[in-house]
Amino acid sequence: MALVDSAVWTALTLAALPMLASHMLAVPLDLRPSALIFTSGLFIYNLDHFADATGEEGSAATWTEGIGREVIGWLVVGSGLALAGLLATAPPAVGRVFVGYGLVGVAYGLPVLPLVGPRGVRWLRLKDIPGMKAAIVAGSITLAAVGLPVAWFGVAPGAPVWAAAALIWVLVVSNAIMCDVGDLCADRISGVRTLPVLLGVERTRLVVCLLALSLLAVFSWGWASGMVGSHPEAITGCALVILYTSFVTERTPKAVLSLVLDGCSFAPLLIGWLVHGKFA
């Protein structure tokens, strides 16, 4: 389970999403969008792990334990240089998409929303909006996962782009919401008002299942009308969401959550390859 506890696993699961988007958009398989997300993930997570290694309590204690601050520092430098190199050689449109992705990520953790109250102005982070944490995270990742292949190949906006964005957003938001189920006790103590904190586990499960079923209904209409092609990976992704939603609880071990929920990023891509005989 060492890989599953690491930043590499998280970055790999994110890197699978541009490949899924490329497949749905029928563009040539190009690993550069995935490499961009992978290296950015490594840079961000290892930067956080670097703070963990200095003695601060964080979520990556298992990964940082025994590695050492110096090694993690080199991982930050290496991933940062790789990220800079990929951005420098990418088309200008790719850089604009990446900036948007990064700005959402920054706004997520920094106080950017003014809230006027009887005691004056108080600044909130995006993740402080009750119940919106998972949706904002999913929106940021979807922007990168779909926007990067679109920008790289100059794909015109249309139904296929929206279909890919809808599927990836549902996959990521469902993952994030069920991760919040696993963090329910800690979020209640810290006052983070995630969807499970607001609704409870059972109603959260219902929301996630309805979301997956709604997406399947929209895709079915799109297939019947000829607006989008037949994508069995969408059926696979939604079925997996409904499946893991049924058994994840606040007592599910973290390693199992990471393996199952993040691992579902690969399954739709593999199904598409098995059915169509190619990734794109």
| pTM of the shown model | 0.81
pLDDT at 174 over 90: yes
Range 238-253 average pLDDT: 88
Predicted confidence (pLDDT) at residue 1 exceeds the cutoff of 70:
no
Residue 202 covered by a domain? yes
Asked if residue 21 lies in contact with residue 149, where contact means CB atoms within 8 angstroms, the answer is: yes
Q: Encoding tokens for residue 147?
A: 């926007």
User: Is residue 1 one of the residues assigned to a domain?
Assistant: no
Residue-level pLDDT at 50: 59
| Residue 262, in any domain of the structure | yes
Q: Is 42 helix (H, G, I), strand (E, B) or coil?
A: helix
Q: Which domain holds residue 115?
A: 7-276
pLDDT at 60 (0 to 100) = 43
Q: What is the pLDDT of residues 105-125, one digit of tens each?
A: 666 666 666 766 677 777 766
Average per-residue pLDDT for the chain: 79
In a domain, 2, yes or no: no
E strands, the chain, are 113-117, 120-124
State yes or no: pLDDT of 198 exceeds 80. yes
148/258: higher pLDDT: 148
Task: Give all strands (DSSP E) within 103-259, no chain letters.
Answer: 113-117, 120-124
Domain CATH code at residue 242: 1.10.600
The DSSP symbol for 277 reads S
Confidence of residue 67 (pLDDT cuts 50, 70, 90): low
Task: Indicate whether 86 belongs to any domain.
Answer: yes
Could you read off the pLDDT of 136-147 as tens digits, one per residue?
A: 888 888 999 999
102 assigned to some structural domain: yes
Please give the pLDDT value at position 56: 45
Inside any domain, residue 77: yes
Higher model confidence: residue 158 or residue 72? Answer: 158
The three-class DSSP label of residue 250 is coil
Cα-Cα-Cα-Cα dihedral sign, residues 53, 56, 62, 63: negative
Cβ neighbours, 10 Å, residue 86: 19
**Residue 12 maps to a domain:** yes
Query: Residue 17 corresponds to which tokens in the numbers above?
Result: 């999403």
Q: What is the per-residue pLDDT for 82?
A: 87
Q: Which residue has the higher pLDDT, 151 or 73?
A: 151
* pLDDT (tens digit per residue) in 16-46: 898 888 888 888 878 888 888 888 887 777 6
From CA 167, how far away is CA 233, in angstroms rounded?
A: 9
- Give the total number of structural domains in the chain: 1
